[in-house]
Amino acid sequence: MMSSPSRPADARRTRTLRAWPTRAVPDETATTQTRQATRRARVTSAAESLRTLRPLGWLLLSCSVGVGIAATLLGWAEFATAALVAGLVMIQSALFLIGRTAYDIRIALNRTRVVAGERAYGSLTVTNPTTRSLAPARLMLPVGSGWGSFDVPRMPAGETRDDLFSIPTAARGALAVGPVSVLRGDPLGLFERISHRDDAHTLYVHPLTVPLVGLSLGRVRDLEGLATPDLSRDDVSFHALREYTPGDDLRHVHWRSTARAGEVLVRQYEETRRSRFVIGLSTHPDDYSDPDEFELAVSIAASFGMHALADSRDLAVLMQGRVVTDTGEGRLLDEFSLVSFSSAGGTGIDALGVRIAPHAHQAALVILVCGAQASAAALHAACGRLPAGGRTLVVVADPESESVRRRVGTADVLHVPRLEELPRAVRRVLS
C-alpha cells in the first residue's frame, strides 16, 4: 500500500492502493461470478457472531475459563485473579465493537474492459451519511483472488473521503471487484466484526490482439454479399458513373449516358463480399503443449474475430461447449476473456469440425485455431467434415516452430509462433 502525505481533516484525502489479483480464467460468465461473489458476502447472523471472536480471542477465552475452573477446584487466589483479569480484558476489547458502521460505500471503475497488461483504475468513495461520528474501521476490497485494504479513520458526520486504487492485469480473465467488507475490531485483535456491502463490479481483461491491416476477408463479386465502402471496377453493386480511364473494361461503358454527355462514361461499383465468417477455437487441453500456447491461440482467434466484425459484421465463434454469434466487438472480447480449457475427457479439433458444419453453410471463410499437439489426421478429419464451397484456413499456435505454411487436404495450414507474425503470415495466404 502506498500512501500520500497527510492532509487537513477537511480536505479531500486520496490514497493509492495497488491490488495484485491472481490469474483468473473463469469457466462461467462474469455476471454469474459477480452474483456468486455478492452471495458469498451475505452470511447468516449466527455465522457472523462466531466470526466476531478471532482465534486469539478464543484462546484467551479458553484460558480464562480453564484458569477459572482450576481456581474453583484448587482454591488458588492467583488463578482466580488471572481469570478475572482475562475476563476484564475481553470485556474492554468488546467495547470497541460498539457503534454503527453505516458507511455509504461506492466503487467506481474508470473502465470495465482493459487489455491484458494494462492497468485499471478505480475509486472507493466512503461517506458518513449519519448525524454522528463513525468509529475507525478497515475496508477490505476483493479483486479477483486477491484483495486490497483501506484504513478509514474516525469520520465526522457528513464527511466524504476517496481512495484511489489501480489493478495490474497480467493475464486475461474476468475479475470480480467487490463487494466491500467493513471490519471493526479492538487493538489487541481479540474481536472483529464484519459487515458486507452488495456493490460488486466485473472487470474484463481482454486478450491481446493484432490488427490485420490490409487484409480483405470475404468472397468478392458475390450476389449474396454485402456492399462495402471500397470501390471497384468490376462487381455487382452499382455505385456511380465516372469518366473513362485507360485500362477500364469497355463492357462497363454506359453508352446512353456517354451519348448525352459527349464523353465516355463507365460504371463504377461498390465491392461486395460474402459476409458470413466462422471461427472455430479448440479448447481441448490435449491440443496444446502448455497454457501459454493456449493463450496464443485465444489471441489469434480474437484477432480474426475483431477483423471479421469490422469487415462484415456477421460472425460465429464456436468452441467446445460454447457458441458466440451476433455480438459486438466489446462483447466478443468479453467472451474471449472467459475462455478456458474444456474438460480433459471432451472432444478435440476433429469433433469441433462437426459442431462447426451447421454454421458453415454459405460461409466465405472458416478458420480453425488449435495448438501444436493437434495431429495432421485430426486436422484432416476436422476439415473433411466442413461443407464444400467455402474456404478453410487452419492456424496452429506453435511457439516452438517458424512461421510456415502447408496443406492438409484442401485447407491451408499456418504455423504461427508469435502473435506479431499473424498479419504477415495470413496475408500470404488470403491476400
Contact call for residues 308 and 279 (beta carbons, < 8 A): yes
Same domain, residue pair 193 and 107:
yes
pLDDT computed for residue 301 by the predictor: 94
**Which residues form the domain of 294?**
277-430
Contact 185, 136 (CB under 8 A): no
Same structural domain, 242 and 300: no
End-to-end CA distance of the chain: 51
Q: Work out the burial of residue 237: count CB atoms within 10 Å of its CB; fewer than 13 is exposed, 13-18 middle, 19 or more buried.
A: middle
Instruction: Please check whether residues 257 and 197 belong to one and the same domain.
Output: no
Same domain, 263 and 285: no
3-state secondary structure of 16: strand
Angle at 288 between CA 282 and CA 292, to 5 degrees: 105
pLDDT of residue 25: 40
Q: Is residue 233 part of a domain?
A: yes
- The CATH number given to whatever domain includes residue 118 is 2.60.40.10
Question: What is the number of domains present in the chain?
Answer: 3
Is the domain of 387 the same as that of 412? yes
102 and 126: one domain?
yes
pLDDT of amino acid 389: 67
The pLDDT, as a whole number, for residue 311 is 73
Q: What is the CATH number of the domain that holds 404?
A: 3.40.50
Find out whether the peptide bond into 229 is cis, omega within 30 degrees of 0.
no
Q: Going by DSSP bridges, is the β-strand pair 237-243/265-273 parallel, antiparallel, or unpaired?
A: antiparallel
Between helix 291-311 and helix 329-337 the angle, nearest 10°, is: 170
243: in domain = yes
Residues 26, 34 contacting (CB under 8 angstroms): no
184 and 114 housed in the same domain: yes
What is the longest distance spanned by two Cα atoms in the chain?
A: 127
Q: 120 and 197, same structural domain?
A: yes
Cell 502447408, located at residue: 406
Query: Does residue 329 sit in the same domain as residue 404?
Result: yes
How confident is the chain (431 residues) per 10-residue block, as mean pLDDT?
A: 36 42 41 48 42 81 88 86 88 76 88 92 90 87 85 90 89 89 81 76 93 65 45 55 84 85 83 71 92 95 89 80 76 91 76 85 84 90 81 90 80 91 86 61
In whole angstroms, give the CA distance from residue 27 to residue 323: 14
Same domain as 263, residue 297: no
Do both 178 and 286 map to the same domain? no
